[in-house]
Amino acid sequence: MFRCKNSTCPGIDDDEILMKHWEQYKIQVPKKSPAIRPRTSFFSGTPKEATCPSCKQETYWMICPHCHNRIDNEMVLNPGKIISIVGSRNSGKTVYITALIEQLKRYGHKMGQLGIMESTVADDRDAITSIRFKKDFLTPLFKEGQCPDGTKVMDKYREVPLIYTINQAGRPPLHLVLYDTAGENFKEGNEANIQNNLRFLSKSDAVIFLFDITNIPDILEKLVECGLNFEEAEHDVQQVVASLSNQKEIKERLLNIPKAVVFNKIDLYLDYLTESMGEISDLRKGVNSSFIDGHGINMDVIDGASDALQKALIDGMWGSEGAQLWINFPKKAKSDKDTDPLVHLFGVSALGKNPVDRQVLDAQGKPDVKPYRVLDPLVWILYKLGYKLNMQ
C-alpha cells in the first residue's frame, strides 16, 4: 500500500488506522491521505508506485498495510532476511543494541565485504533510524559515557524498530530489525503484551536472545559476595523462555532458524568468578574478537566458547536456574546434552566494565566504553545464513 506525498492533495484526511496505532501514546497524528492500493495484475509483481485517485499524482511512499506507518521500500521490493533481538527486563538490551550498531559501523568491513545502510524512512522525523540512534543511543553512551535509560513500557517509539540493512554482492539483503521493547512486557500474567510484542519473531529468519548473567541467581549471589551491588535484580530469565514456548506460531518458527543465546555482562564473570565457578573456554579478559584487529574470524573460538557455556548450563555450574534455561529453550535437540546446530551461546559485554552510577568513565572522567565480543552473535548468524566472511 502507498500514501500520496502531495501536501496539497485534495484527498488529505485523517488516516484512521494510523491514528488508532498511535492513540495509546496520545500523539496528534497529522492529517494524511488515506492508504492507496495500486492497480496490479497477476503478472505485474510488486508495484513500485501508485497513482493517487484524488490528485492523480504518482507516489512511491510505501506504508505498512497493518498500521499505515511509512516503511522502507527496499524491505518490500527486496525483502531478504530479518534478524531480531529480544531480551528480558534489565538484560541491558538498549545498551547492547547501542554497542552492536556502533561496532558494526566501525568493524563491519573487517567481517566481510559488507555494506551497512540505515533506514531513512519514518512518518515522525524523530523516529528515523539515523536520527533516533544518534540522539537516544550513540551520544549518551559513547559521547557522554552515560548508560541510556531502560525502555519504558509507554515509550512512544517502543514499537518502531531501528532498521539497518546489510548488503553483500551475490547475497540477499539482510535487515537487522531492532525492537527496543520494554522488558516489562515479559512479566508473568502479561500474555496479551507478550503475544503483541513478540509477533515479529514469527517473521524473523534469525533471533538474538539477550540475557543478563546477574539474572541467574547463583551468579548474582557470588557477585554480591564479591562486594558488588545491583539494583532491581530480577530473576525473570524463565519468564522470557516460557513466553516463547507458550506461543505456538513463534515456537515452531524458532525451531527452524538460527538462535543466538547471548549472556550480557560477561565481563563481571571474567573479572570475579572464573576461580569459583569455572573458566569459560576461549573467553579471556582483554582478548576481544579476532577480526577487530584484522586477523579474520575464528569460528573455532566462537564454537569453543559456545560449548563451554553450554557445559556450564548443563552441568549445573550456574545453578538450577541456568540448567532450566537450557532445558526449556526452544531447540531441536533430542536430549539436554544434544547439540542443536541452530543454537549457539555467547558471552558478551556491551560496556566492557561495570558502570558506576550508570556512568562508564575513565580516571580522567572521559567516556570509556569498550564493547567485548558484541558482534560475535551477528557473525555466527551471518555464517549460518550463508554470507561470505573474512575467515582465519
**CATH label of the domain that carries residue 217:** 3.40.50.300
Q: What pLDDT score does 154 carry? A: 46
**How many other C-beta atoms lie within 10 A of the C-beta of residue 344?**
25
pTM equals 0.86
Query: Strand pairing of 50-51 and 58-59?
Result: antiparallel
Number of domains in the chain: 2
Residues in the chain: 392
Residues 1/66, Cβ–Cβ less than 8 Å: no
Crossing angle for the helix pair 319-328 and 237-246, to the nearest 10 degrees: 20
9 and 91 co-located in one domain: no
State which residues of the chain have pLDDT below 70.
23-30, 40-44, 88-89, 149-159, 179-198, 231-240, 244-245, 335-337
Residues 82 and 135 in one domain: yes
In a domain, 389, yes or no: no
Backbone angles phi, psi at 159, to 5 degrees: -100, 5
CB 198 within 8 A of CB 163: no
Residue 390 lies in a domain: no
Q: How remote is the C-alpha of 230 from its chain's centroid?
A: 24
Over residues 171-188, the pLDDT tens digits come to 888 888 886 654 545 555
Cell of 359: 556512568
- Whether residue 147 sits in one domain with residue 277: yes
What residue numbers bound the domain in which 53 lies? 1-70
Residue type, 132: R
Answer with the one of 70, 97, 123 that is the final residue of a domain: 70
Say whether both 33 and 141 belong to one domain: no
